[in-house]
Amino acid sequence: MSIQLNINNAGLRAHELEFVRPQVEAAFKTVTEKSGAGHEMLGWLDLPETYDREEFARIKAAAKRIQAQSKVLVAIGIGGSYLGARAGLEFVKGPFGNQLGEKGVEVYFAGSNLSSDYLQNIFDVIGERDFSVNVISKSGTTTEPAVAFRFFKEKLEAKYGKEGSKERIYVTTDAKKGALRGLAVAEGYETFVVPDNIGGRFSCLSAVGLLPMAAGGMDIDQVMQGCADACKAYANPDLMSNDAMKYAATRFIMLMKGKKVEILASYEPSLTMFGEWYKQLMAESEGKDNKGIFPVSANFTTDLHSIGQFIQDGSRMLFETVLWVKNAKHELKVPHDPANVDGLNFASGVPVAEINEKAMKGTLLAHVDGGTPNLLITIDRLDDYGFGELCYFFWKSLAISGYMIGVNPFNQPGVEAYKKNMFALLGKPGYEDAKGALEERLKSLS
């Protein structure tokens, strides 16, 4: 595997992993035997063997068609129907991938907020250019993507006519039911499936994430190969040689020691959205029944100049997991300046990647000295294969740690609460009863 976990700086005593072996092995068994709460949502577990090859070929064909017909793809979705694709594209193509990508169309993401300014900005970025839309929603009724889709559907129909827009709308939704499925069938849009047995935050290597990733120029064969290799590697039931198990066990020990916040820190801006994906995966899976580790993500060295102070010296409730990329794609060396006004000539000719590595190592030791335990996950490089591999590593580990803390890692009942209030306040039919009481409480805001 190209993923390596090092827990030498987690501050564990020699026996501690051994002492949680029974719990981690039991949780591993519960996952692999599909015998625990929410087991019907374990479709991702053997995804590399079971995924629909016919649909995979259609995804690749649709991506080629999008590339031929458009300069821009607008991917509309939220949560699990959004984060994975964006994380994958930035992981591989970097934060400026839309401007610099040699392969694929520019991909912009809509429907993941309710900001009219953000929507207008996407309209402006597209301008007069040709565009296609991939609307992604299992239910088809999630407010944010539903609002965005209305706008983009209207724009497509105005630009290409009703018939022309049918060639440019790609729908990823439930296989059989739901509002979006009904609309797609009625209008004749090409459809892809959000599998029934894979929850949103585990769905990025189904059509949910694969179509935007492929249209944006990612090699999805390589993504699936990385996932397949990880699937084999992390099927190993031995705690000491399975890093997904070891990561789960170490996080569990951290939680037992009162470290209730995990910071996933990277030193590559290309991993910013991966951090967002990780946050959803961890928070929606573990944060229930008043339990769980609160996930945070950070980009170093940028954030060392903001939250670094807290990590070093603030309330001791944190542990840090550094996601380190061993090989930078580009070698850039610090230029020499004879005037040396900034006193930086000691680093003249040194690759920036080497300075980044020294920053990582120095920071790691400083944070450990300050009482923040460290876990280090090293990956080879930011490529398609590595993305598939890393997704599976986190899925498997999280499923194990979820069962270890005694929650169902595959549901998300808490996500509904804000929606009920929002619908009641907007006057959505069926929510009338709650409206009066909420408005009464809201008086406190005025």
**Minimum CB–partner distance for residue 388 and ligand PA5 (Å):** 19
Catalytic residue among 190, 284, 286, 389: 284
Give the tokens for residue 440: 């009464």
Q: Which one, 153 or 367, has the nearer CB to ligand PA5?
A: 153
Contacts of 10-17 spanning 24+ positions with Cβ under 8 A:
10/250, 10/253, 10/254, 10/319, 10/373, 10/374, 10/375, 11/368, 11/373, 12/250, 12/253, 16/253, 17/239, 17/240, 17/246, 17/249, 17/250, 17/253
The sign of the dihedral angle between the CA atoms of 344, 347, 350, 351 is: negative
**Minimum CB–partner distance for residue 78 and ligand PA5 (Å):** 5
Catalytic residue among 15, 176, 305, 330: 305
Catalytic residue among 34, 39, 260, 419: 419
Q: Which one, 161 or 182, has the nearer CB to ligand PA5?
A: 182
**Minimum CB–partner distance for residue 312 and ligand PA5 (Å):** 33
Q: Which one, 199 or 373, has the nearer CB to ligand PA5?
A: 199
Closest residue by Cα to residue 183 from 207, 153, 158:
153
DSSP code of residue 316? S
**Minimum CB–partner distance for residue 179 and ligand PA5 (Å):** 10
Query: Across the strands, what pairs with 106?
Result: 72
Q: For residue 305, indicate whether it is catalytic.
A: yes
Non-local CB neighbours of 154 within 8 Å, separated by 6+ positions:
none
Q: Which one, 243 or 284, has the nearer CB to ligand PA5?
A: 284
The sign of the dihedral angle between the CA atoms of 380, 381, 385, 388 is: positive
CA distance 223 to 210: 9
Which spans of this chain sit near ligand PA5 (rule: CB under 6 A)?
Answer: 78-81, 137-139, 142, 145, 199-201, 284, 412
10 Å CB burial of residue 351 (0-12, 13-18, 19+) is middle
Q: Which one, 145 or 217, has the nearer CB to ligand PA5?
A: 145
Give the tokens for residue 376: 């280090």
**Minimum CB–partner distance for residue 36 and ligand PA5 (Å):** 18
CA distance 265 to 271: 9
Active site residues: 284, 305, 419
